Structure formats: structure tokens, C-alpha cells
Structure 1
Amino acid sequence: MAYFLTADGGTESLRARIYDLSGTCLGSVAVPYETTFSSGARAEQNPEDWWRAFVAASRQAIAESRVDPAAIESICLATTSCTVVALDRDGRALRPAIIWMDVRAHAEADAVLATGDGALITNGGGQGPVSAEWMIPKALWIARNEPEIFKAAHTICEYQDFMTLRLTGERAASLNNVALRWHYQTDRGGWATSLVETLGIPELMQKWPQRVVAPGEVVGTLSAKAADALGLPATVKLVQGGADALIGMIGLGVARPGQLALITGSSHLQFGVSETPLNAPGIWGSYPDCVYPKRYIVEGGQTSTGSIIAWLGRLMNGTMNLDELNRKAVALEPGCDGLIVQDHFQGNRTPYTDPLSRGAIVGLTLAHEPHHIFRAIMEGIGFGTRAILDAMAAAGYSGREITVGGGAGASDLWLQIHADTANLPVCVPASRDAPSVGSAVLAAHGAGHFATIDDGIAAMVRPGKRIEPRPREAARYNEIYQQYRALYPALKSIREMRGTTA
């Protein structure tokens, strides 16, 4: 038998898993790490925590699986994207990593858009906006605000690339990440050289890893030091992965036009697959070759979703009983007795791409209880997803069904709300751990067991359940959705009156 080690490096923890060729998970262990938040919507992590978590979780997962380490053929990782690290020549971090949800670089994002460079075609068809989350705005922020760090940096890269360096000694980037977030385009000459030069930071081109490796391709084998840390043979291959959500598309089996992937967790991401380029306002992409060869990915996303539920739990000071909240929330009618939630607690990714937008709970009365707010948050997130799907449809991409991976797949209520607010069927595969399953598919493909990624999907991704939208509830949600859509311009005008900038 062949076995594969995967890692899902998320916002709050890293989870290592062991898979076999059938896609069965034999061992699974998560190790948490800390995120430091500060004013201005800043969020940072220590890259050394990622490595420590990976080593600890991997060793424990291997032990739990009872697999002989010598039988593990390859490793593949899915990690957060837009998590930018600055490293010295020895691969040590010069400052904490600026993680994906950090939007301090909004002024730099505006500067990127102002260049009018052709590489910006992936940002609303060239009209923008540009997200403060992405690589170039964050690198520009470091150059402007921490010039000594920028000058000293030998490598500026992402979480994925940091782990690649630690595992193999290779200074390589994932095609998945650079196509998604660095404005690298395989069909337009590769690197966004003119964009970086226009911004006045041409040296960034040398700080980026110059080797670009596509998902499913072999980066190299383990260094002696990494093999010793993990207790694995040095012959184990590292197969390129990428952004957790995009690798999750593979784990969900979303590989063909008409399918929609909804990756849920701290945030939501929506992806569709196209055989032709698709660029338009209100969506991101399309990105060529970043997951599947000769296919394009179109994208939308919500910055804060599951993290809003976690926020509610903090407000309740540890007293939140999810089972009780679900039981009471299920009994409520759509609209939660007049409540509407705007889900922009950490800004809006799409369709507005507004890092300064903020969350709101509208319609509160003294009669409302925690379960009203709990369900209203879910509904607001569902409306945010629908707004993205509407933008995709306006651009010419309409999905027939939504396939869900991640935390929301555990909640029948949340799944039904998504089906009803979008008025589309929702499918959940047998395994909701989409980034890990996708990594396992890539690891097996890279190890030579499947000729294509599609073949790996057919062998390793198993179907699960399907939830249909309910006509009465879908009609009611359509009415409430119009009110939700009115919230953003109304709240934006209030913000502008207040002069809020962060």
C-alpha cells in the first residue's frame, strides 16, 4: 500500500493527516497556533509556529495511523494564501507573517490599482478594486513602512513557500498562489514585472522565489534535517500544493464548468471552473492553470464568516451552547424576527472589495435572544454568498449546484440556509476536509499513482448528501436579500460621514 502525509495549515491551527490510495484518512491530528490581532484590522503569526505545529502534528498522525513511516511516499500541503513572510538568507523570519485577513495595506492596494497595469485584468476585469490582502500590496506596505526589513529580506514569499523551504531547501513558489495573488499569469508572460517596477520596488522580483511549481508536480525530496525532524525517509517527495481553498476544490471534486465550490471556515470562498477566460467587475480571476491544466478559475470570497460565529462565542464568554442555539434557531422563520446581519466584520472581499466596510446587526429589539443573532449571522453570510454568485452570473458564470467543504458542512441548518438563500442545491461530499483530501489527491498524483488530477478525484473523492432549496423559504429569503443589498451603500455613506479610515 502507498500512503501520503498531508497538512492543512489554516488560520487557527495546522492539521496533519495520513491517507491511503482510496482516499481514506487513517490518522488526523491538529496543533493550534496563535494569531496576534491589533488595530487597523491587522493580524500576524509567527512562522516558526507553523513548522513546530507541522512536525508535532505529523509525528502524532503517523503514530495514530499505525502506518510504517517507510511506506509514506509523498507529502502535500494546503495553507492559507496571502500570508506574506519576509525571510533572511537562512530562511528565518525577519518579522511576524502578515496573514491573509490583515488588510492594513489598503492604501497600497489603491496604489497598485492606480498603475492601470495590464496584470490587473484579474481584478474585476482591470477595473479593480485590488484587495489589500494580496501579495503585492503587502510587500509594498513593508517597503514603505519597514524599509529596513524590506532591504534585508532575501526572500518574500507565502506560508506555502516557507514550508517548502523548510522541507526541501528549495526556494520555490506554488503556481497556485502566484497565479491567485501575485498577478502571475501563464497566458500573459508570467511575472507582473512592469507592475512591480511602476510601483518603485523592482528589487521585489529578485526577492520572490523564481522557480514556480504547479500543483501536483514534485518540488523535491526531504532534506536530511526535515526527514530527521519528521521521522521519515529522505526519499519522501514533496508534491506542490497551494492555497487551502483552491486545493479544497480538488477535495470537493469540483473540476468542471457549471460546478461551484464553497469552501467554509473562518472565511468563505466561492470558486467556479471555466474552459475559457472570464474577467468582469465584482469577481476575481479568471486564473489560468492554477489548479487544473488548461482550465480557468473564477473566484469570489467573504472575509469573515465562521469567524463571526466565533466572535459571538467570545461575547457570550464561553457560555455558547451550539446544540441549544441550533435547536432554537431551526424553529425561527427566515428573517429572525426582523434581524439582518451585514457580514463584513473584517471588510468585504467581493463583490465590493472594500477593506474598510464593517459588520452590522440591524433590527435589534429587546425581544431578541442569542439564537436570533446566531441564525441571523448565518443568514447574513448566506446573503453574502448569494451576492457573489449574482456577480458571477452577471459575468457569465452560472452554477448548477454548490458543493460545500469545511465547517459549515457539519451544520444542517447552515447548509439549508445556503441552499435557500442561493436557491440552488447544496452537495456535501463524504469527507468535508476538502483541503486535506485535495492534498492527498495531489500527493498520489505526484507520486505517480494517477495520470491526471481528474483520475485522482475519481478514485479518492466520495459523494455524500444533497440538500435541495425549499421554494417557500427561498422566496422569503429573496425578499430579505433585497434589504441586505441595501445595507452596504447605506452603511458606507454613514462611514464616509464619520470619516472612518480603519
Structure 2
Amino acid sequence: MLYIGIDLGTSACKLLLVDEQGRVCHTVTKEYPLSFPRPGWSEQNPEDWWKAVRTGVPELLEGFDPAQVAGIGAGGQMHGLVALDGEDNVLRPAILWNDGRTARQVDYLNETIGRGRLSQYTANIAFAGFTAPKLLWMRENEPDLFGKIAKIMLPKDYVNYCLTGIHCTDFSDASGMLLLDVEHKCWSRDMCEICGVRESQLPALFESWQVVGTLLPEAAKELGLPETVKVCAGAGDNAAAAVGTGAVGDGGCNISLGTSGTLFISSEKFGVDPHNALHAFAHADGGWHLMGCMLSAASCNKWWCEDVLSTTEYAAEQSSIDKSQLGNNTVYFLPYLMGERSPINDSSARGAFIGMDMAATRAAMTQAVLEGVAFAIRDSFEVAKALGLSIPQSTLCGGGSKSPLWREILANVLGIPLLLPQTEQGPGYGGAMLSMVACGEYATVADACKALVKIAGRVEPDAALAARYEERYQKFRQIYPTVKGLFPALQ
């Protein structure tokens, strides 16, 4: 049988056709626009996501028998607010995960409602990217539209609705809304009351591998698939990527160097970071996870290369970096281009280069960008270690993981081995694996991971280089506390 995995990203939708042995038979990518209507705002038209799927799937199936497709599973960008009216029409462009307009609402939730109450209700505090602050913003700034909301959904759930006609979400994605009681896996009535929404406006909750429905006749016709194809609930992108790299059960760890960057630590037991620097979310395997999330990771390198240096030759740009300079760079980079989540929770933070002198080169600044992202991931790594968590190694995925230089930098900044999965297709591969469980190909998510996830490579830290990076990290961590008071004034 064949399975379709959907990776609903921020800039594109990547579709995967996977067989029951986990082989990726075909991939198709469909890009769509991203809108920044005001500084710090980030929006997208949900119709573009569905267009990408309905035009991409027929291309994906070229040369294959559609009757062999048994299931579809999606991993999608988290937190985005999709608001539908009573006839399921989209009310406004989706407000995305990297949108920073909700600083005032976040302050209200964290300071007036209180971090303690939020953590009690949802296991998390408010961050600018979460869905609940966006609802408060919409209630305050677009009251007419807010009053018309019949259903509140997340990005991949809108696609699942288009496929099945079912208003649904899964626990991992719902965890990032600040509306879910994560420990008990149910909607929080207290948070609904705070945000002025009714539970009836929220989608039905499922485990990630559970079947939410089969294809609508019109959707099946457009996609060229049988109506019997099962659609599972899917997962938030980071949980789906963790499944795709085998980071499930107790102690699994995955680091993603995608548009955003994450440190993902899975657990069979529910737990909360008492300082709320790490998110406490449900996992797609039925358990839970702690996650540190930085808003700009590989996107920092994309910005530096494409927008500043006017090149898309990433590898060529990194080839000019002298390996002897690793751990010896005098230039530092703060990677807060869109503000930052974990662990500083500061939507006003911005990117910065510091330490340049007349000897600073283009290569040194490129190296600083790669190192700055690695140092920011180390910040969340340190929080996890302070909680007593042991992280002896981690898998690595995301677009940035394709860079041998970046992998080497990250392994030595963290001081742990990084494992490279044989099939590195991110959330889409995890989505396909979840659909296999939904269709009975595997009994559990853990079984699917054991059978399908293979490690192709390993990056070991070098003791001498790790020591040099330790010294540099201790300097890096002093920069943000020193300059953070400037950011609000500069804006």
C-alpha cells in the first residue's frame, strides 16, 4: 500500500508518497506566498494551503496506482489562527506562528491573568506566537469578525477539513494554542472563558494516529483518489518531525534546524518546566514532550545569504569558512530576527551582529550566523539539563541539517553526538508514518518508528573544539541580557 504525507510549511507544502516499507517513492513541493502587512505581522491565506494540496497530489500520483493509496497524514506549522464563519468560510488571513503583533495580549495573559494560572490551566505560559493571544487581539481589534467566528482551527486542520469535512485537531497541535489542558488532554474551560470563546467553537480532539474520516466525494475527485482513503488527525510539525526521526517514548530527542529551530525531548509521563522556558506539549505518540523553540533558525541563514548577500549558493558561501576559525570567531550574532520564544520569551528582541572590527570578513559573519543559531539552541538545551534531563545524543533534521559545517558546529556547541536519519523528510514523513498506524500497517507509533527509522550518519563532537565553543557560548549568553533594554526603544 501507499501513504501520503503532507508537510504544511510556512513557505511551501511538501507532499510525500511513501510505501509500507518507508521508502519515499515521490515528492512534490508547492510554494505559496507569505504576507507581512505590517512590521512584525505574518499572515497567509488558508485557501493557498488547500490549493497546494489539491494541485500537488495529482502530480504526486503520476506513474502510481491511486487505488493503492490507503491513508493521508499531515504535519503542519503550529499556532496559526484559522477563523471560519458559520458556513465554513475563512474570515480573515491566518495569523501565523511567527507573527509578533500580540505583545500586549501576551503581557495581559502572563501578568494580569498570571503565569501560575496559565500553567495550571494549560501547562504553559503565553508566547506571542500562540493562538490564544491572537484571539484576544482579534476580539479587541476586529470585533465584528471575532463575533462571526464559528470554528477556530489550526493550519493543517484546515487542510484536513477540506479533505474530510470534519472540524478536527490533534493533541500535539492543540497544545500550542494555550487553550488545551495538556495534562488531561481536553479543552480548558477557564482559558475559553478568558479568551471569550465557547468550547463548541473548537474542533474535536484526536490522538495523532486516529482516523478522523475518509475523503469527501468532491475532494477524492479533485485529488484522483478513492473515497475510502483514511485521513488521520496528524500532528504539529515538530511532533510529526520527531516521529519521522524516531524521537518517541522516554528520552527521545530531536533537534530541528528548519525555518524555526527546536529542541524536542519526548516522555511517557507528563511534566512541566517550572520556569516555563520550555513548552510542555502532548506528543504524537500518545505521550508528552518538552520543547524549546526559537523563531528564526535556518531562516537566519536564508535571510543572510539571500536578502543581504544576494546569493542562493549556501554551500559555496560556507566553503569560504576556514575550519581553523571554528571556535575562534570574534563576531557574534543574535538570531532574533522575528523576536524570540524559548527561553527568553521576548517578542521585541531583534537580530544583531556584535564584535566586528576591521578584520571581520564576510566569511566570519556567515560563520557567526550559523554559530548564533547553535548557541540559541544551546540556551534551551541548558534549561533541559537544569531540569535534570539527560540528553546523551539527538537526531537532527530540517533544511539546516544538510550543511556538514552547521552539523559540526552544532555538535560541538552542544557537546553531544548528532544522529542523521537515513530518510530525512521532516514532518511529512512523520505524517505518512502516522497514517500507516491509522490504517493498521503498524500497531503503534513506536512500532512504526522501530521499523522505519534508520540512522545513516553520526556527527561526533571533538573535545578540543567543544571546549573552545564552551568559552564562546559563555560570552554569547551575556549579550542578550546586556542589550535587551534597547530593543523596545529601537522599535
TM-score normalized by structure 2? 0.95
**Within 2, Cα distance between the matches of 1:477 and 1:59?**
48
Deviation track 1:443-482 (CA, whole Å, cap 9, x = no partner) reads 1110011111111112221211011111111111111111
Q: Which residue of 2 aligns with 1:8?
A: 7
Q: Which residue of 2 aligns with 1:42?
A: 41
Q: Which residue of 1 aligns with 2:180?
A: 184
Find the residue that maps to 1:375 and give its secondary structure.
Answer: helix
Q: Which residue of 1 aligns with 2:114?
A: 116
- Contact kept in structure 2, 1:124 and 1:283, CA below 8 Å: no
1:454 to 434, 446, 455: 446
Are the structure 2 counterparts of residues 434 and 25 from structure 1 closer, same or farther at C-alpha, using a change threshold of 3 Å? Answer: same
Q: Which residue of 1 aligns with 2:93?
A: 96
1:330 Cα deviation from its structure 2 partner: 4.4
**Within 2, Cα distance between the matches of 1:239 and 1:191?**
20
- The one-letter amino acid of 1:115's match is I
Q: Which residue of 2 aligns with 1:205?
A: 199
- Contact kept in structure 1, 2:79 and 2:96, CA below 8 Å: yes
Are the structure 2 counterparts of residues 321 and 122 from structure 1 closer, same or farther at C-alpha, using a change threshold of 3 Å? Answer: farther
Q: Which residue of 2 aligns with 1:284?
A: 278
Find the residue that maps to 1:67 and give its secondary structure.
Answer: coil
- Contact kept in structure 2, 1:74 and 1:236, CA below 8 Å: yes
Are the structure 2 counterparts of residues 337 and 180 from structure 1 closer, same or farther at C-alpha, using a change threshold of 3 Å? Answer: closer
Matches within 5 A, 1:352-431: 352-431=344-423
Find the residue that maps to 1:357 and give its secondary structure.
Answer: coil
Q: Which residue of 2 aligns with 1:173?
A: 169
- Contact kept in structure 2, 1:91 and 1:165, CA below 8 Å: no
Are the structure 2 counterparts of residues 473 and 123 from structure 1 closer, same or farther at C-alpha, using a change threshold of 3 Å? Answer: farther
1:494 Cα deviation from its structure 2 partner: 2.5
**Within 1, Cα distance between the matches of 2:68 and 2:131?**
37
- Contact kept in structure 2, 1:437 and 1:461, CA below 8 Å: no
> What residue ranges of structure 2 are gaps of 5+ in the alignment?
none
2:472 to 473, 480, 486: 480
Deviation track 1:289-313 (CA, whole Å, cap 9, x = no partner) reads x3222x2211101100111111112
**Within 2, Cα distance between the matches of 1:44 and 1:391?**
31
Are the structure 2 counterparts of residues 125 and 489 from structure 1 closer, same or farther at C-alpha, using a change threshold of 3 Å? Answer: farther
**Within 1, Cα distance between the matches of 2:255 and 2:296?**
14
2:310 to 315, 318, 337: 318
- The one-letter amino acid of 1:163's match is V
1:39 Cα deviation from its structure 2 partner: 3.2
Which deviates the most, 94-103 or 360-369? 360-369
**Within 2, Cα distance between the matches of 1:326 and 1:317?**
12
- The one-letter amino acid of 1:93's match is V
**Within 1, Cα distance between the matches of 2:371 and 2:52?**
34
1:125 Cα deviation from its structure 2 partner: 6.4
- Contact kept in structure 1, 2:4 and 2:72, CA below 8 Å: yes
- The one-letter amino acid of 1:240's match is A
- The one-letter amino acid of 2:281's match is Y
Find the residue that maps to 2:161 and give its secondary structure.
Answer: helix
1:377 Cα deviation from its structure 2 partner: 0.5
**Within 2, Cα distance between the matches of 1:34 and 1:204?**
32
**Within 2, Cα distance between the matches of 1:20 and 1:109?**
44
1:82 to 69, 79, 82: 79
2:214 to 221, 226, 229: 221
1:181 Cα deviation from its structure 2 partner: 2.7
1:96 Cα deviation from its structure 2 partner: 0.7
- The one-letter amino acid of 1:181's match is M
Tell me how many residue pairs correspond in the alignment: 489
Which deviates the most, 215-224 or 80-89? 80-89
Find the residue that maps to 1:36 and give its secondary structure.
Answer: coil
1:138 Cα deviation from its structure 2 partner: 0.8
1:336 Cα deviation from its structure 2 partner: 5.7
Which deviates the most, 272-281 or 148-157? 272-281
- The one-letter amino acid of 1:270's match is L
- Contact kept in structure 1, 2:252 and 2:267, CA below 8 Å: no
**Within 1, Cα distance between the matches of 2:177 and 2:117?**
11
**Within 1, Cα distance between the matches of 2:438 and 2:228?**
14
- The one-letter amino acid of 1:133's match is G
1:133 Cα deviation from its structure 2 partner: 0.5
- Contact kept in structure 2, 1:120 and 1:183, CA below 8 Å: no
Matches within 5 A, 1:68-79: 68-79=65-76
Find the residue that maps to 2:357 and give its secondary structure.
Answer: coil
Deviation track 1:6-39 (CA, whole Å, cap 9, x = no partner) reads 1101011001110001110001010100001143
Deviation track 1:178-209 (CA, whole Å, cap 9, x = no partner) reads 1233341253472121123134x1x3433212
Q: Which residue of 2 aligns with 1:270?
A: 263
- Contact kept in structure 2, 1:258 and 1:400, CA below 8 Å: no
Q: Which residue of 2 aligns with 1:233?
A: 226
**Within 2, Cα distance between the matches of 1:435 and 1:96?**
23
**Within 2, Cα distance between the matches of 1:161 and 1:257?**
27
Matched-pair identity in %: 28
**Within 2, Cα distance between the matches of 1:413 and 1:123?**
42
Q: Which residue of 2 aligns with 1:157?
A: 153
- The one-letter amino acid of 1:257's match is D
- Contact kept in structure 1, 2:35 and 2:44, CA below 8 Å: yes
1:420 Cα deviation from its structure 2 partner: 0.4
- RMSD after superposition: 1.9
- Contact kept in structure 2, 1:9 and 1:15, CA below 8 Å: yes
Are the structure 2 counterparts of residues 348 and 448 from structure 1 closer, same or farther at C-alpha, using a change threshold of 3 Å? Answer: same
2:243 to 250, 271, 275: 250
1:134 aligns with 2:125: no
Are the structure 2 counterparts of residues 488 and 221 from structure 1 closer, same or farther at C-alpha, using a change threshold of 3 Å? Answer: same
- Contact kept in structure 2, 1:282 and 1:352, CA below 8 Å: no
- The one-letter amino acid of 1:216's match is W
**Within 1, Cα distance between the matches of 2:33 and 2:474?**
38
Deviation track 1:366-390 (CA, whole Å, cap 9, x = no partner) reads 3323222111101011100111000
Are the structure 2 counterparts of residues 124 and 384 from structure 1 closer, same or farther at C-alpha, using a change threshold of 3 Å? Answer: farther
Q: Which residue of 1 aligns with 2:52?
A: 53
1:495 Cα deviation from its structure 2 partner: 2.9
Find the residue that maps to 1:464 and give its secondary structure.
Answer: strand
**Within 2, Cα distance between the matches of 1:195 and 1:124?**
8
**Within 2, Cα distance between the matches of 1:32 and 1:278?**
37
1:258 Cα deviation from its structure 2 partner: 2.9
1:332 Cα deviation from its structure 2 partner: 4.6
TM-score normalized by structure 1? 0.93
Q: Which residue of 2 aligns with 1:433?
A: 425
